[in-house]
Structure 1
Amino acid sequence: MIIRTLHARRLRRRLLADGVLPGHVAVVMDGNRRWARQVGLDDPSLGHRHGAEHLQDLMDWCEDIGIRHLTVFVASADNLHKRAGTEVLNLMDHVERIVVPRAVGSARWRTHAAGRLDLLPDTTRHALELAEEETRDRDAGFDLTVAVGYDGRHELVDAVKSLLDSGKSIDELSATLTPDDIARHLYTAGQPDPDLVIRTSGEVRISGFLLWQAAFAELHFCDVHWPGFRYLDFLRALRSYSDSRGRR
């Protein structure tokens, strides 16, 4: 433990001294149930609670290192359709009781929601909308985007629909359409694209997460399950990013 702590301190100093740091990190927080089974918890769904609580650590790490934009993938639209109803309700309860209060309670952060909020229970949707409203006008230096009920392909469909409803004719759109036009209609409009996408739990795929936005992001896959993701793991992901961008 002491050796790990010393290594983390040295790595942090190196990154702050001469590293190339991302301005926006996105995280697929995967492996909550597998972590619960791994540590011997009787109820695997308790992993979701530990995972939700661990978000505060990630926010603190971003503050410490100076990463001002953070997006976290809490649940996909596919998760909401395929998982058992009790598990989904349990997860949404953690969003309402842990994720949102801690996000709102962190005075240095603004909160944003991304996804098909119409798929969420009314109480969860209301909690996220209220979090956005309460933090929108904060003089805060950090932005947290919570992706829940999210699907990158559906986001693009919704963006195109929104464009078509903007009042321009099909011919006019066809003649003038640019990538920036589409970006302005995404769920994440107004936020910068991620520089680094981290996925925990050993899965080497992005599962529809930020398909448009992450087109030029560095991807980092970590074998550690999300609740067990340590500060040292985070710093190693930043080092991987820095080394990759530094070579360019």
Structure 2
Amino acid sequence: MSFKEQIDTARLPKHVAIIMDGNGRWAKGKGKLRVFGHHNGVLSVRDVVEGAGELGIKYLTLYTFSAENWNRPKYEVTAIMELLISTINKEIKKLMESNVRLNTIGDIEMLPKKCYDELVSAMEKTAGNTGLVLTLALSYSSRREIVQAARAIAEKVEKGDLKVSDITEDLFAGHLHTAGMPDPELLIRTSGEYRISNYLLWQIAYAELYFTDKLWPDFRREDLYEAISDYQKRERRFGLTSEQVN
């Protein structure tokens, strides 16, 4: 029985987040430049997005480019930005056919203008789609996101638009980049690394974590199904006892 056949579609996680790690090591293992790994990683993105959509996942968020990634060699950053533009142009038709809505989180104003314009255009074109919401975390830093939210709330308090007593977890969450989205219930990281890397730190407070040794260019929809199958075998208690949950 395949992993897809093992999945109970009535108990799917609404939101799956993925740290797509291992492109560089995959390329190095083949005697290629890191950029080669990024190009092949796009094939994994395409397959996983299609698989998530077919399964009925509502939200899929991919850690595409972190704020720290700007510190990588200039040639690699440039290649990633060019790849992002070409990928958006190639995939927009497929996104429309699949009813996928493209979304972003992060400081996308830091992207090169051409990249920014293509991204905004693609989001506008897919804005009316009602299927899977595909969110790309670009120039994203969770710590920065949290600080920005705290600053925005503090400014509202300073102006008198909010009282300190108005500040709740829900209000704070509403000032994050992910406002309006459910928190991820499943976080997947590829490449055998066991860390969160400044990704959705507030949002994954109760997410199930799934780590795989597969490098991202080798990750496909069946691997996604395996992660979801594993997720469905876990007991999610949210601080309760097993007896209370059952």
Distance 1:159 1:141, change over 3 A: same
- 1:29 paired to 2:20: yes
Cα deviation, residue 201, structure 1 = 0.4
Q: Would the aligned equivalents of 2:88 and 2:118 in 1 still touch at CA under 8 Å?
A: no
Q: Would the aligned equivalents of 1:31 and 1:201 in 2 still touch at CA under 8 Å?
A: yes
Provide the rounded CA distance (Å) in 2 between the counterparts of 1:223 and 1:77. Answer: 24
- Which residue does 1:76 correspond to in 2? 66
Provide the rounded CA distance (Å) in 1 between the counterparts of 2:124 and 2:152. Answer: 22
Cα deviation, residue 104, structure 1 = 5.9
Q: Would the aligned equivalents of 2:88 and 2:122 in 1 still touch at CA under 8 Å?
A: no
Where structure 2 has 5 or more consecutive residues not aligned to the other structure, the ranges are 237-241
- Which residue does 2:39 correspond to in 1? 49
Cα deviation, residue 72, structure 1 = 0.2
- Which residue does 1:127 correspond to in 2? 118
- Which residue does 1:144 correspond to in 2? 134
Provide the rounded CA distance (Å) in 2 between the counterparts of 1:216 and 1:104. Answer: 35
Distance 1:14 1:46, change over 3 A: same
**Partner residue of 1:16 out of 8, 20, 25:** 8
Cα deviation, residue 163, structure 1 = 2.3
**Partner residue of 1:158 out of 141, 148, 159:** 148
Cα deviation, residue 173, structure 1 = 3.3
1:75 partner letter = F
- Which residue does 2:239 correspond to in 1? none
Q: Would the aligned equivalents of 1:100 and 1:128 in 2 still touch at CA under 8 Å?
A: no
1:36 partner letter = A
SS in 2 for 1:111: strand
Q: Would the aligned equivalents of 2:142 and 2:200 in 1 still touch at CA under 8 Å?
A: yes
1:50 partner letter = N
Q: Would the aligned equivalents of 1:115 and 1:155 in 2 still touch at CA under 8 Å?
A: yes
**Partner residue of 2:91 out of 94, 97, 102:** 102
- Which residue does 1:3 correspond to in 2? none
**Partner residue of 1:188 out of 162, 165, 178:** 178
Q: Would the aligned equivalents of 1:24 and 1:192 in 2 still touch at CA under 8 Å?
A: yes
Provide the rounded CA distance (Å) in 2 between the counterparts of 1:238 and 1:15. Answer: 7
Distance 1:133 1:34, change over 3 A: same
Cα deviation, residue 153, structure 1 = 0.3
Provide the rounded CA distance (Å) in 2 between the counterparts of 1:56 and 1:95. Answer: 13
SS in 2 for 1:148: strand
Provide the rounded CA distance (Å) in 1 between the counterparts of 2:101 and 2:161. Answer: 38
Provide the rounded CA distance (Å) in 2 between the counterparts of 1:105 and 1:231. Answer: 17
Q: Would the aligned equivalents of 1:113 and 1:129 in 2 still touch at CA under 8 Å?
A: no
Provide the rounded CA distance (Å) in 1 between the counterparts of 2:90 and 2:107. Answer: 21
Cα deviation, residue 165, structure 1 = 3.9
2:111 partner letter = L
Equivalent pairs counted in the alignment come to 236
- Which residue does 2:208 correspond to in 1? 218
Q: Deviations over 1:8-38 (max 9, x none)?
A: 3xx2122137x73211111111000111122
Cα deviation, residue 162, structure 1 = 2.4
Cα deviation, residue 170, structure 1 = 6.6
SS in 2 for 1:194: coil
Distance 1:172 1:60, change over 3 A: closer
SS in 2 for 1:13: helix
The TM-score, its normalising length taken from structure 1, stands at 0.87
Distance 1:213 1:50, change over 3 A: same
Q: Percent identity at matched positions? A: 35
- 1:198 paired to 2:188: yes
- Which residue does 1:243 correspond to in 2? 233
Q: Would the aligned equivalents of 1:72 and 1:145 in 2 still touch at CA under 8 Å?
A: yes
